[in-house]
Amino acid sequence: MKVEFSSILSKNEWLKPVLGFVGLFALCTLFSPVTGKGTKIFIKFDNLSNVLRQVSEIGIISIGMTLVIITSGIDLSVGSVLALAATLTAFGIMDWQLGFWLTIIIVLFAGAFAGFVSGALISWGKIQAFIVTLAMMTGARGFALFISDSNSRNIGFGQNAAPEIFKIFTTSFFGIPFPVFVFVLVAIIFSVILRKMRLGRHIYAIGSNEEAARLAGLRVNWIRTSAYVFSGLLAALSGIIHSAQLYQGNPNDGVAFELDAIAAVVIGGTSLQGGKGTMEGTIAGVLIIGILSNILGLHGIQKDFQLMLKGAIIVSAVLLQEGNLRFSFFRK
C-alpha cells in the first residue's frame, strides 16, 4: 500500500502540493477561531471568498511566472508591470477618456509588449533572464512614474468619470468577487495549455534540455519569448484588477510581487532549473500562502511573524518536494 502511494506521488507531480494544501486547509479549519455562536470563522463562506479575492492578483501573476520558470527562466518585472498597468488603467479611463474596452486592450498590449521585449532580449540577445527582467523591472517602474508624474491617480465614478462597467471588478456574483472568476478562468486556460497543447509541451522541452529541443526542430527562441509575453500579459491583467480594487492607479504599487509569485510557484513544486512543474501545483502554492496569512490574521498575529513563517514555509515546501530531507538526515 505504501509503495503504491509513493509511486502515485512520483507519477503525479501536482499531487504533493495539492495534498499539502488540503492538509493545511484541514489544520486551519481545526484551529480556526470560533464565533460566539460556535461556528468556525475560517470556513465561513465570506472568509473563504475573501481569501480567494486576496490571492487572485498574485495568483494570476504566478500563472505567467510558472510558464517562465518551466522554461528555466525568471521574470522579475511582473510587479513593476503590474504597477505600470494599474497606472495606465487609471489614466486611460480618467484622463485620456479611452473608454473601458480600449483601455483594457491597450493595457494588456503594453504588458505583453514588455514581456516580448524581455523574451526577445533573452532569446536573441543571449542575455541572462535575471538581468533582462531586472532591467525591465526598473524600466517599467520608471515609465509608470513618468506617466503619472509620480502620483497615484484616483479612479472616480459618477459624472464625467469611469464608466459603470468598470465596477464589474468590485462586484460579486453568487457571493464570489469577480476577480476570483478571472483567476479561475486564467488558471484553467493555462493548465490546459500546459497539459494538452503543443506550446505547453514545447515549454517543458526547452526548459528540460534547450539544445536537444533545438535539434528536435523546436523554435526555441519563439517558444521562450511566448512564455515571457504571457507573463507580461497576465501581470497587466492583474494590474487592471489591482487598480479596480483600490479605485486608483498607483505607480508605487506591486513592489516585491514578483517574489511572492516566485514563492508560490516554488511551493507548488516547479523547479527553478526548468523542465518540471505544474499549473495545479502553482494554484495550490498560491492558496497555501493565502490561507496561511488568513488564519494568522484571524488569530491576530502580526505581519512580522507572518513573514518569518512564510520564509520557513518556502524552504520546507521545497525540502519536502525534493524528498532530500529524509535521506540526508537518516542515511548517514
Partner 1 sequence: MSLLEFINISKSFSGVQVLYDISFSIEKGKLFALVGENGAGKSTLMKILCGILNEYQGDIKLNGNKIIFNNPREAENAGITIIHQELNLVAELSVAENIFLGREPTNRLGFIDFKKMYAEAEVLLRRFDFPFSVETKINKLPIGWQQMVEIAKALRLKAEIIVMDEPTSALSENEIKFLFEQIAQLKKSGKTIIYISHRMKEIFEISDEVITLRDGRFVGKYSTSKINQDFLVSKMAGREIKTDRVRKQYHSTEQLLSLNSVSVIGSNKKILSELSFSLNCGEVLGIAGLLGAGRTELLKFLYGTDNSGFNGEIKFLGELFKPTSPTKSIKNKIIYLSEDRKGEGIFAELSNLKNGSISILPKISRLGFIQKKNEYKVVTKKVNELNTKMDSIFQKITNLSGGNQQKVLLSRVLLINPKLLLLDEPTRGIDVAAKQEIYELIDKLKAEGMGIIFTSSEIPELLSVTDQILVLAEGKQKALLETEKTNSVEILKYAFEE
State the nearest-atom distance from the C-beta of 10 to partner 1, in Å.
9
198 or 303: CB nearest partner 1? 198
Residue with cell 479575492: 53
220-224 long-range contacts, Cβ below 8 Å, gap at least 24? 220/123, 221/123, 221/124, 222/123, 223/71, 223/199, 224/71, 224/73, 224/119, 224/122, 224/123
State the nearest-atom distance from the C-beta of 247 to partner 1, in Å.
39
Q: For binding to partner 1 (CB under 8 A), which residues are involved?
A: 11, 196-199, 201-202, 204-205, 207-209, 211-219, 275-276
Distance CA 172, CA 150 (A): 32
Q: How many CB atoms lie within 10 A of CB 238?
A: 33
State the nearest-atom distance from the C-beta of 67 to partner 1, in Å.
15
167 or 196: CB nearest partner 1? 196
49 or 221: CB nearest partner 1? 221
State the nearest-atom distance from the C-beta of 80 to partner 1, in Å.
31
Phi and psi of 161, rounded to 5°?
Answer: -140, -155
77 or 278: CB nearest partner 1? 278
Q: How many CB atoms lie within 10 A of CB 50?
A: 15
116 or 204: CB nearest partner 1? 204
Distance CA 55, CA 292 (A): 11
State the nearest-atom distance from the C-beta of 273 to partner 1, in Å.
9
Residue with cell 493548465: 191
